[in-house]
Each structure stands twice: as structure tokens, then as C-alpha cells.
Amino acid sequence: MGRVRELVTGARRIVVKVGSSSLTTASGGIDDQRLDTLVDVLGGLAGAGREVVLVSSGAIAAGLAPLQLRRRPRDLATQQAAAAVGQGLLIGRYTAGFARHGLTVAQVLLTVDDVTRRAHYRNAYRTLRKLLDLGALPIVNENDTVATEEIRFGDNDRLAALVAALVDADLLVLLSDVDALYTGSPSDPASVRIPLVRSDADLAGVTIGAAGKAGVGTGGMVTKVEAARIATGFGIPVVLTAAPLASAALAGDEVGTLFEAAATRPAARLYWLAHATAPRGRLHLDEGAVAAVVARRKSLLAAGITAVDGSFAAGDPVDLVDAGSGTPVARGLVNYDAVEIPALLGRSTPELAAALGPGYEREVVHRDDLVLL
């Protein structure tokens, strides 16, 4: 386990994720002592010349007490209202806390669209890169006040893994109220801490449990392990531990669980497309189109599509499905609305241009906006 210290102490750009339960009181308000302790750890890192990006939950939780809500609401509208109140409170506390270390913080609110569409992705990357260049500390959260899918199905563990890929981080640290990954429930005396995960084979027989069970948060160990898979698949090592152990973990002490990284890194935006999006529809491909997309990495043309399912607009993510087996083989950003595609099926690009005009002389899904599944 000596490599833990080397991986951590050698990391220059670090993404740290902290969960709601590690920042708030049981009633939902912000716990000043917990927040300040974390700020002091991260402020020390930044002061030592490390680049730090903080992915922080807690906006919805922080908004509960001011709105006199006793527990996290189940309905979307009230969640969004709590986030609208809590996000300002949360960033205000971070601003004051990091100011003690002479650091300026920047609030960055993201949705899936911000990092899957090409133009939006470039903007998100440039903004985060410039903030780090200017010595600011970005604090990232999902834009819960306007997002829908993100609140109901997303979690900040996954967001943190994808932000780590976006900024090309050297290390991801996931902080929660559990000090490590265990072979079973941490409360079970028979459970044993897992210090190192090299691959999924090391998780064989491990009982992770269900997500969404803890207090004011939405995550659980399931989401943290999945986030670790996403980050390590991008070539970023992950340390999973409890928030009170953040200082020890970031100093390289052998605490928590280390997930080793894969040897190579794929394209970051396509990694977002594969792991952060939900398909809005399906395009069914004939055998030739499947071979072109999968084996030859070509763009998808209308001539190879046999059917279309779903309701989507140009720019939305769709799954490309092998019409023979029904298996999704790729995901991409489509260039046409769903209602346009039936008239294009099976027709060549020159034929479409002649019949419908030059605006239809383009790919249905361009290879630059396509990732194999």
C-alpha cells in the first residue's frame, strides 16, 4: 500500500467530492465546524500550490431549515426550491471560509448538456481551466434549481468522477460519512475494510448495499463505487474515505480505500457522453451500419438506419442499436429531430440532398459525437 502516498502526494490537480451528510446537521442546516474543517484542509492544499476543484453536495440540505422543512422533500418542485435557497447559503459559507486562506472561490453549476454538447463542453472546460490558472478554487454542483433528471437520478459522486475527467485530474477523493469500502455493512463486526481495489475482481463477494439510504443525501456506497469505476476507467486513481479523515487521506496516509486507475485515458467529452447521459431515443441499424460504426469508427448515415424510437431533438443523446440483436452498440448526439428521421430511412446522402436540399447532406450522428458502448 506504499503507492497510496505516492499517488496522493504526487497529484497536482485534485478533485474532492464531499457529500451532504458530511456538511450538514441532522435537521438540514450547514454545520459550520465540519465545513470549516474541510475548508482548512483544502485551503492548505491550494496554498501549497496544488490545484483543487471541490464538488460539493449540500445545497438542497442547506435549504431545508430556512424553509422550515423537516426532511428532504420527495417532490421535484420542493427540491428545486430548497436548492435555490441552499445554494446561496452554501457558497456564501465557502466564500468566507476560503477567504481566510486568501483564496477566491468560484461557483460552477453544471447540467449534463453543459458537458456533452461540443460547444458547451468546450466552454465548461475553458471556464474551469481559466479559473485554476487564475488561482481560484472552483466549487461545482449540479444545477439543481433547473435540472430534472439530475435530481431524480443523478448524484454528485458520479458528477465528481466526470468533472475529474473534464479537468484531467490526477486524483479524485470521495468524502462521505463512511471511512472506507468494506466487505459488508460497516456496522457488521464481521465486515473487513478493503484497502485496495485493483479491478472489479477485487469486489467479488462484496455486499455494497443500496443507494439513497443515508440521511439528507442522495448517494450511498453503490454510487461511490460506480463513481470510482468511472474515474479509474479514465485513468484517474480514487481514494474513498470519511470527511474527518480528509487531512490524513490527502497527506498520503494509508486510510480509506484506494481504487487503482486504468493505464490509458479516453477522450473526456465522449466519456461524459457514455456515463453522464440518458438516451432520449433509439436508432436501429442494419448490419452494414453496425460494422461501419463499430469496426470502422465511421459516422452514422441515414442509409443504414431501419427504424427510430423515442422523442428527441437535434443535439440529444440517442442509442444506436443493432437491429438484429436489439443490443445498443453506441451512443451519440443526433443531428436531426425524431420527426425528421423516418423520411430519411434507407436513403443515401446524395439522394437526400437532391430530394430535400443541401441541409440534409449531413450525418445522422457524426463520429466525433459518438462513443461505443
Q: Is residue 144 annotated as involved in ligand binding?
A: yes
Q: Is residue 24 annotated as involved in ligand binding?
A: no
Distance CA 192, CA 283 (A): 46
- Residue pair 348/355 in contact by the 8 Å Cβ criterion: no
Q: Is residue 298 annotated as involved in ligand binding?
A: no
Q: Is residue 221 annotated as involved in ligand binding?
A: yes
Of 36-45, 101-110, 265-274, the one with minimum mean pLDDT is 265-274
Q: Is residue 220 annotated as involved in ligand binding?
A: yes
Is the per-residue pLDDT at 260 higher than 80?
yes
Q: Is residue 141 annotated as involved in ligand binding?
A: no
Class of domain 279-372: mainly beta
Q: Rounded to two decimals, what is the model's pTM? A: 0.82
Q: What is the pLDDT of residues 125-139, one digit of tens each?
A: 999 999 999 999 999
Four-way CATH pick for 2-272: 3.30.465.10, 3.40.1160.10, 3.40.960.10, 3.40.50.2000: 3.40.1160.10
Distance CA 158, CA 172 (A): 11
With b for 16 or more beta-carbon neighbours within 10 A and e for fewer, the 70-106 pattern comes to: eebbeeeebbbbbbbbbbebbbebbeebbeeeebebb
Q: Is residue 17 annotated as involved in ligand binding?
A: yes
Is the per-residue pLDDT at 198 higher than 50?
yes
Residue-averaged pLDDT of the chain:
88
Q: Is residue 368 annotated as involved in ligand binding?
A: no
Residue % of the chain over a pLDDT of 70 = 91
Contacts of 195 (CB under 8 A, 6+ apart): 1, 180, 254, 257, 258
Q: Rounded to 10 degrees, what is the CA torsion of 228, 234, 237, 240?
A: -20
State the pLDDT at residue 228. Answer: 94
Q: Is residue 114 annotated as involved in ligand binding?
A: no
Q: Is residue 233 annotated as involved in ligand binding?
A: no
Q: What is the pLDDT of residues 14-28, one digit of tens each?
A: 999 998 889 987 666
Q: Is residue 115 annotated as involved in ligand binding?
A: no
| Residue 88: all three cell numbers together | 446561496
Q: What is the pLDDT of residues 30-73, one digit of tens each?
A: 899 999 999 999 999 999 999 999 999 888 888 888 999 888 88
Instruction: Write down the domain spans for the chain.
Output: 2-272, 279-372
